[in-house]
Amino acid sequence: MEPLLSAINLYPVKGIRAVAVDRALVTPAGLEHDRRWMVVDDRGQFLSQRTHPRLALVTGSTADGRLDLAAPGLPPLHLQVPDGIRRLQVTVWDDQVDAAAADPRADRWLSRFLGRACRLAYLDDPSGRPLSSSHGKAREVVSFADGYPCLLASTASLADLNGRLSDPLPMDRFRPNLVVEGCGAFAEDGWRRLAIGEAVFRFAGLCARCTVTTVDQQTGLSGCDEPLRTLAGYRRQEKGVMFGVNLVPERTGQVALGDRVTVLE
């Protein structure tokens, strides 16, 4: 029996809460509408839940060229995709990216919520950030995601971890784009190429986890060392503690809940 795709998650703005959808278009840069927007400080450096866990309280959706944001204590914000006349030079880890500046109303709204000066950027050119990795090939690209277009995890891997924790955690702690059920725990570690719906993906390495996994995505609060402490006991490698796999699209197309996950290699 082949595994099935059991959840699809988008993050319209890097670092905010996930949006669960029934289907999505896989593009060369990842899922359509995933992490095309990003919050940056006044120097253009990206902000995330690593330093600003309150981002987990921001919800967003995209439709018809619009981004709608909501957060506790603030009125909803409705933005159009910027025309690109105003530009921002932004930094995602080691990558310098030319992006479009959002409406200044977004800067004020986010600055008020996060309690610091910040701006909102939009990746208007999907080819504007090449995939800079030993796993990347020429002309492969990525959105404002940390390093790779897609992240996949399995429910069996989470169940294995939760069996070792005193307080089980939901999958949203790991912020995957694609969730698979019907395979063994950490079976995804060994998948080198896989097909889901119309799309085909290539394995690009295990995902090293950071302190974002300690942030409760419903409250925006952190303060514990789980799941990192437990993962370190049995999932530690040279680059960190691992959970989930990074994927690069080799063929684009639609994916939908219930699609079979076919391991090609």
Structural domain boundaries enclosing 210: 4-263
Bridge partner residues of 178 (DSSP): 8, 152
Check pLDDT > 90 for residue 13.
Answer: yes
pLDDT of residue 241: 97
Give per-residue burial for 29-55: e unless 16+ CB within 10 Å, then b. Answer: bbbbbbbbbbbbbeebebbbbeebbbb
The confidence score (pLDDT) of residue 133 equals 64
Instruction: Match 């971890």 to its residue by tokens.
Output: 161
Cα 12 from Cα 224, distance rounded (Å): 27
Task: Identify which of 187, 222, 176 has the alpha carbon closest to the alpha carbon of residue 34.
Answer: 176
What phi, psi does 233 have (nearest 5°)? Answer: -75, -20
End-to-end CA distance of the chain: 16
Q: Please say if the pLDDT value at position 80 is more than 90.
A: yes
Position 33 scores a pLDDT of 96
DSSP state of 166: S
pLDDT at 153: 98
The more confident residue out of 126 and 203 is: 203
**Pairwise CA distance, residues 151 & 247, whole Å:** 6
Strand partners, 154: 180
CATH of residue 110's domain is 2.40.33.20
Domain total in the chain: 1
CA-CA distance, 24 to 19, in Å (whole number)?
11
CB distance 203 to 247 below 8 Å:
yes
pLDDT (tens digit per residue) in 110-153: 999 999 999 999 999 988 899 876 667 888 999 999 999 999 99
Percentage of residues in the chain with pLDDT exceeding 90?
92
| 178-200 pLDDT per residue, tens | 999 999 999 999 999 999 999 99
Residue 46, pLDDT > 90, answer yes
Predicted model pTM: 0.96
Q: Which residues pair with 68 in a beta bridge?
A: 61, 78
Average pLDDT for the chain: 96
Q: Is the pLDDT assigned to residue 242 strictly greater than 80?
A: yes
Task: Report pLDDT digits (tens) over 215-241.
Answer: 999 999 987 899 999 999 999 999 899
